[in-house]
Each structure stands twice: as structure tokens, then as C-alpha cells.
A = this chain, B = another copy of it.
Amino acid sequence: MKRFEIPVGISARHIHLCLADLEVLFGEGATLHPIKTLMGGQYAADERVTIVGGNGRQIEAVRVLGPLRGDTQVELSKTDTMFLKLQAPLRDSGDIEGTPGVTLVGPKGQVTLEKGCIVAKRHVHMSTEDAMNFELKDKDLISLDFEGERSATLNNVLVRVDASFTLELHIDTDEANALDVKPNQSVVYEA
């Protein structure tokens, strides 16, 4: 049996914007300003927006990730969706058909989405070479063991393989808090 350590990345709530929504929120001709490079050509932008639920509750300063996408997508924790009283389903990124919308407020305007709110399924990014070492392929589901006082095994972790990916598990803040994940923690996978 081979034993691999996978670094854990915690995804806080964030938003991907389409061009039309960017211009409504930040003004005509607005562009995103990268402040931190993420894997696969993505980046955290300086831009942030406020999310307003149908119940009037707000979550402020939600980070926008770039580059722009074809559709606006809002990735929330289940704790967030309960706070906003929003029935957002557990989905893979990009799969937003039939999901609820929400209102976004930026410095120049606001937009009410018809769809786009999801709770992102946990997943592990790996390079093609990592996948060969781990004997895994894209879209496999694996189980991962977390140590510590809130020790647990998470099942149904989706494997995503791409030449541009760096090895990293992505879980959301609910999962990280439920498992009391510490900064720079790794998780063990046994192939």
C-alpha cells in the first residue's frame, strides 16, 4: 500500500462573475484586479461584493475570483445558505442549472441572479502525474482520513485531474470547521 499526503485548502465563500454582471456591479468597462494567484490560471481579485438573501440578510465583502466566466456562480457554505434561507444544492462547480439566485450588490449597482448559488462538492485537484502515482483518474470518488480531535473520514471526494493542477484538497469552511482543520494541515490517502 502506498501512502500519500495531500495538502488541504479551505475554500471560503466566493463568487465568479460574467462580464455583464461585473459591469453592473463595478461600472461599465470595469476589470478585475488580481491580488493572489490560484491554481489553474485562476486568481483572487481585489473586488468584493455583498450578497443579499430573500430574507434581507446580508453577507458582506465576498471575494470575487477571476478570470470572468460565462455564467455568474456563487459558492457558499451550507451555514451561509441557512443564514440567507437559500435552498442551494450540493453541486460541482459550473453545474448551476436549476439552482437558486440571489442579489449581489457592488459599488456601482446591483444584480438579482436567476440562478447560480451552489454549495461546492469537496474535490481534490491533482496533476496527470499525481493521478498516475495515485492510480486514480478524473472523476473517481475517494475517501480521505483526517486526524486530530475531530478525526473523521470523508467519503465521496471527487478527483479532478488536469495538467495545470497542483495537488490540493478543496473543502469548504463548514467541512474545515467540523473537522477542526489546522492551517497547513495535510490529509492522508492510501492507494
Contacts and interface: CB of A to CB of B under 8 A. Distances in A.
Copies in the complex: 2
Interface residues of A, number: 23
Contacts of A173: 79, 82
Contacts of A93: none
A152 B149 contact: no
A73 interface: no
B177 A178 contact: yes
A39 to B, nearest CB: 23
A180 interface: yes
Interface in A65-94: 77-79, 82, 90
A77 B150 CA distance: 13
A185 interface: no
Given A77-B177, A82-B177, A153 B152 contact: yes
A82 B172 CA distance: 14
Given A78-B178, A153-B153, 6 more contacts: A77-B177, A79-B173, A122-B150, A151-B154, A152-B153, A152-B154
24 contacts: A77-B79, A78-B177, A78-B178, A79-B79, A79-B173, A79-B174, A90-B150, A90-B180, A121-B149, A122-B150, A150-B154, A150-B156, A151-B154, A152-B154, A152-B155, A153-B153, A153-B155, A172-B178, A174-B174, A174-B177, A174-B178, A175-B178, A177-B178, A178-B178
